[in-house]
A and B are shown apart, each in its own frame.
Chain A
């Protein structure tokens, strides 16, 4: 049933973009020079149909990264076994070079809240997330990358920093990290800390992938700026600056342009990827970085 992929699984340390149905045709017609594509796993969990046909065609020519948005790793309740099995099947079918999920939760009781809700940085949450990540890695038989969140609130009970929490999870479970630079900028602005300090303290040796995306601006209860992780526009200039700083420290890493809402034309999205490639290609190849 499955067509063997012609292209190697490995995601190169170049720019890629989030794959959108609206761009299937230009991609297959133009065969752009782009390093890889990332898919939202949940969009390909149907039994068949055009999504799988297009994805198979694109996978023949490009490496793929599988990015889950619905696993709810930070939930107190056990992971959804059916969902885990669906992820395992997708992983086997498309052999993505990378698999990632979020430090967030989105399920409660029998309901799914279609957003990435924030996790308190407590010992109890750390243990629960670690168990869930162990379970994911065992089921899929591979390492996963865990993405730092963008947050709008913090919890009274939090007893450690976000970086300590992520580092501990990575050390306990062996998972890698996905560093979303836009999320760092959004959270740093929202909670009043320095994004540079955060990035400099981030366990960069555990990072296997970077995300870049656009954000919207709002105001909080005191009238202070509140940034929203909207993925509905181009990457902001300060985020590009932070990205260049990260790459200067880490060496080249697979870098995703995320644009999920108010979709641009394929050309505009491709241009964003080329802008990331321009920063990556300044790095000499021997600095290329391998996540472990």
Chain B
């Protein structure tokens, strides 16, 4: 048997829990080594469940250990990792949960998973120094409207029809998520300016404003959009919050760009 055939057969058995041990294996004492082979099957699944548990602790707390394990198993079967970097595994866990029928009674689970994955991504993201709000006062005021912001590489924005921040915060502080009022959605910013990952609920209008900046809109364009869609949009207040989080790394003036 060629090495290619042997490894294909090994993996085919590995991925089929009901399958017998592959034919390529020696049979000590004349017995098919099913239990022995099962050590590999078990190692793969258990180590991946553990990887998901450590990346999605709040999802686990929300649904309980047993349900989480069963869900993780289904996800692993559906979407095995494609990279040896375990901290990148689970990018699609949120969308899997959205469509996972047994989790239909917990419809916000996918958004909580996306928030947790954003935290993990922020933790491992490129480091970059942030600038202070006072930097803006050094720029010619008439050019500020055309300024483009370079946001921190660790930053992720999330919008949810569920109170995803409150659910996450209640569960990560070991409180019960039962008391969270599910009627209102929440927008979230996830960022790691230094050592610690920061998760904050965005004030009204903040998500659209930041998405516009992130997409390359100038400060003036982003503020104009926000003013049209959000009542009483307070630009100074939003800028203070944004710089306070260490979310801005550079400001480029359009007409000074080479």
Closest A residue by C-beta to B196:
A50
Contact B47 A115 (CB under 8 A): yes
Contact B26 A153 (CB under 8 A): yes
The yes or no answer to A237 lying at the interface (CB within 8 A) is no
Most chain A beta carbons < 10 A, residue from B33, B44, B51, B83: B83
Q: How far is the CA of A228 from the CA of B35 in the complex (A)?
A: 12
Contact for A222 among B1, B8, B28, CB less than 8 A: B28
Instruction: Report chain B residues within 8 Å CB of A112.
Output: 80-84
The yes or no answer to A53 lying at the interface (CB within 8 A) is yes
Instruction: Report chain B residues within 8 Å CB of A218.
Output: 35, 39
Contact B29 A222 (CB under 8 A): yes
The yes or no answer to B25 lying at the interface (CB within 8 A) is yes
Q: How far is the CA of A222 from the CA of B31 in the complex (A)?
A: 7
Interface size on A, residues (CB 8 A): 55
The yes or no answer to A219 lying at the interface (CB within 8 A) is yes
Contact A114 B6 (CB under 8 A): no
Instruction: Report chain A residues within 8 Å CB of B1.
Output: 157
Contact A152 B84 (CB under 8 A): no
Most chain B beta carbons < 10 A, residue from A48, A72, A190, A228: A48
Instruction: Report chain A residues within 8 Å CB of B44.
Output: 113-115
Contact A113 B14 (CB under 8 A): yes
Instruction: Report chain B residues within 8 Å CB of A192.
Output: 28
Contact A152 B124 (CB under 8 A): no
Name the interface residues of B94-135: CB closer than 8 Å to any CB of A.
122-128
Task: In the A-B complex, list the 7 residue pairs whose CB atoms are closest, starting with the nearest.
Answer: A70-B84, A46-B124, A48-B127, A47-B126, A115-B43, A76-B3, A152-B39
Name the interface residues of B41-82: CB closer than 8 Å to any CB of A.
43-44, 47-48, 50-51, 80-82
Given contacts A47-B126, A49-B192, A156-B25, contact A111 B82 (CB under 8 A): yes
Selected interface stretch from A2-10, A120-128, A194-202, A250-258: A120-128
Q: How far is the CB of A228 from chain B (nearest CB, A)?
A: 6
Instruction: Report chain A residues within 8 Å CB of B14.
Output: 113
Given contacts A113-B14, A114-B51, contact A155 B86 (CB under 8 A): no
Given contacts A112-B82, A153-B21, A222-B28, contact A48 B126 (CB under 8 A): yes
**B contacts, CB < 8 Å to A:** 1-4, 6-8, 10-11, 14, 21, 23-26, 28-29, 31-37, 39-40, 43-44, 47-48, 50-51, 80-87, 122-128, 153-154, 192, 195
How many residue pairs bridge A and B at CB < 8 Å?
A: 142
Q: How far is the CA of A112 from the CA of B47 in the complex (A)?
A: 12
13 contacts across the A-B interface (CB closer than 8 A): A46-B123, A48-B125, A49-B125, A49-B154, A70-B85, A108-B11, A112-B81, A113-B14, A152-B33, A191-B28, A218-B39, A220-B33, A221-B32
Closest A residue by C-beta to B21:
A153
**Given pairs A105-B7, A108-B11, A221-B35, 18 additional interface contacts (CB within 8 A):** A42-B85, A46-B87, A47-B125, A48-B124, A48-B125, A49-B122, A49-B127, A107-B84, A111-B81, A112-B81, A113-B80, A114-B86, A118-B40, A124-B3, A125-B3, A155-B6, A226-B39, A228-B39
Q: How far is the CA of A232 from the CA of B23 in the complex (A)?
A: 31
The yes or no answer to A75 lying at the interface (CB within 8 A) is yes
Q: How far is the CB of A105 from chain B (nearest CB, A)?
A: 7
Given contacts A48-B127, A106-B84, A117-B10, contact A219 B35 (CB under 8 A): yes
Closest B residue by C-beta to A109:
B11
The yes or no answer to A264 lying at the interface (CB within 8 A) is no
Instruction: Report chain B residues within 8 Å CB of A105.
Output: 7
